[in-house]
Structure 1
């Protein structure tokens, strides 16, 4: 009977062995559960990116030439601005096309359009509010694109500069470096009454010793003993919104955090009216770099400065081969002025040998001029350092061809044309 039973079971066992899956076989995750990469070469909003206690919006720019394990630059806007405004008003997307990194643009939805840099929640790691939402955005990018977590950077203007200080304090293990344009030290804006504004800090009357400033940063992540992000600081001497003493207080704070001397290792003048000091080192990636701009107000950021930020970050020597750029460009202007207004016609000529695909023209309006309308481009902002970005029908400039745009502006007596122009960050001849 036993022999008969065994004879009956053997075929069944053999069939089971032939049809059972091996231990190593695994079903792939369903496609619907995978995070989707965004379209390249265009600003795209990403939703449902993770924990987001203050309802921020997330915008992303991924270049067509994105590298494997790309770096990530978090570009943070000013008060009343937005992520798309930061995209249009700076050239980080164009530089991303050249070097292959990803640009993340957080965007505030609260009515002030200012980032929270003052609440107790914002000033500690994982405490809540805007820094937590931005950290979720970074996590989404690093998961989706296998980004290099050792090369995550932050830069911002005004409120975004203050947030840059906060992000580096809250998450020193996330960021490699930051660049702050017209900001204040970490925790300088701290309030406990729910107010977003701290007049003492903005007025430049909040001062501390270097150690006191450093302790405020260290207190955001108690027990952390790892490396600290490097910091680049920009400020105008005539800033009437976030007063110039905040420049020196930031230097005190971040030199103490880095553990380096407050005496500059080197001082130079990279451009007329600029004084640059480097602390703890003399090279392009010193632990702390500070640039003071003589006679400049709160709107300190101008075209071309983003390239200097990338040098400080160390992102201008990595990435794919440079994408096609105009070998040369020329800009001519014609102005028709009356008592309080003017119209300006601006012709951009590609004098190089490579087609320009997508362009941004940077220039500085003379003092007292404000753009009130324009054609052939979108103009951001309306005064000071302006960027004119192509519209859908004129984004391509073939070698030897031109595009003409124009704007209308009010003026207070000076009706001159801008004196200098950059095309996608490259200086153009004028004539």
Structure 2
């Protein structure tokens, strides 16, 4: 028995058992200090894993993956952010992945990295999460990722590759999932970094969905931060990320709420108006690439729902309901959408947002004005049906061409708020 334990003790830096330990491995991980963990699982790109465990860990703790910038390391991310002290306050566990390749940049460009289980860095990070979940009996519904620069790009990649693992992410100065893709082994994509890669929201969304084909479950929420004067990963990437994640979340690209949390900041929220909207984006006027500063981590925790010690609530459907049916023939279809105001207040003027299924293009419609003809569509009320009393409903419809997919839309927002579908 002793002989079997010795290798484990050596690998995990023996110390006194933690009070909230869940397994023997947890018993030998020091608390309140940064610890390197070895032998954590499949690790095709030879990443290093660092772990911070607070003195008091909540039962079934949340796990936060904090991903460093180019030229940085896991210990640098630990020293340069406040996630460890926030973990002390709220009882979650922090994983700090660390690159060993010479550039110290995460792989966000190779075909292997941009596919679930494809290899490279995301697989190693997933192994770190699995080790932490096993060791601390962590809550698999409360796993989050955040990163800066290269780490922000990896945050986008992780949420695309593993939508079933992460509840939410926060990316500081990043680029959309797939924007940095290369096929020649290069780690750098100048066009993307320069902000000249422009795609439609649906094209960006399809890149994310293509990382895990066939996945139909819920998608992680995303918080985005970017400075208008970023000269490393140019500011247009901010708008492209908003387009990507609103499309992935199937919410309108028109903000449901806009405010100024502090001078020079513009915060827009999509698909909801609260602290945990499906997508939240913060633009910092006049700020460059190195925008992260003290206090931002606390805002990340608010978005994640980790500043209350309990599970983060999922975005709730709004006070509206939409049913959708289609009638299809060879290359065409008609669709009927019925909107019901399930709230207790009247609606005077409405915009219904929904993603048109891939391969469909609207050719004409009735009861509303539809734009654009494909992708993330917004239907705007006609003059005669703008008012919806509590409990009232209105039916609208459109005709569309299709290339084989005649499905009805499956998600809707009314004036930026998510509706119940079905």
Q: TM-score, normalised by structure 1?
A: 0.67
Measured in 2, the distance between the counterparts of 1:275 and 1:317 equals 25
By how many angstroms is 1:81 displaced?
A: 0.1
> Aligned ranges for residues 287-298 of structure 1 at < 5 Å?
287-298=278-289
> Aligned ranges for residues 398-417 of structure 1 at < 5 Å?
none
Please say which structure displays the higher CA radius of gyration: 1
Match of residue 25, structure 2, among 30, 36, 44 = 36
Measured in 2, the distance between the counterparts of 1:112 and 1:213 equals 27
Q: Which residue matches 1:118?
A: 109
SS at 1:164's partner residue? helix
Q: Which residue matches 2:305?
A: 314
Match of residue 138, structure 2, among 138, 144, 147 = 147
Q: Which residue matches 1:406?
A: none
Match of residue 235, structure 1, among 204, 223, 226 = 226
Match of residue 303, structure 1, among 268, 283, 294 = 294
> Aligned ranges for residues 389-404 of structure 1 at < 5 Å?
none
Partner deviation per Cα, 1:310-365 (whole Å, 9 max, x = no partner): 0000000116xxxxxxxxxxxxxxxxxxxxxxxxxxxxxxxxxxxxxxxxxxxxxx
Partner deviation per Cα, 1:277-332 (whole Å, 9 max, x = no partner): 0000000000000000000000010000000000000000116xxxxxxxxxxxxx
By how many angstroms is 1:73 displaced?
A: 0.3
Measured in 1, the distance between the counterparts of 2:128 and 2:121 equals 11
Measured in 1, the distance between the counterparts of 2:175 and 2:229 equals 15
By how many angstroms is 1:68 displaced?
A: 1.1
Residue 205, structure 1, aligned to residue 196, structure 2: yes
Match of residue 275, structure 1, among 263, 266, 276 = 266
How many pairs were matched up? Answer: 292
By how many angstroms is 1:35 displaced?
A: 5.2
5+ residue gaps in structure 2? 9-22, 311-422
By how many angstroms is 1:231 displaced?
A: 0.1
Q: TM-score, normalised by structure 2?
A: 0.68
Measured in 2, the distance between the counterparts of 1:66 and 1:242 equals 37
Measured in 1, the distance between the counterparts of 2:291 and 2:225 equals 8
By how many angstroms is 1:54 displaced?
A: 0.1
5+ residue gaps in structure 1? 1-26, 320-431
Measured in 2, the distance between the counterparts of 1:51 and 1:259 equals 33
Match of residue 41, structure 2, among 34, 45, 50 = 50
Q: Which residue matches 1:246?
A: 237
Measured in 2, the distance between the counterparts of 1:117 and 1:35 equals 35
SS at 1:156's partner residue? strand
By how many angstroms is 1:36 displaced?
A: 1.3
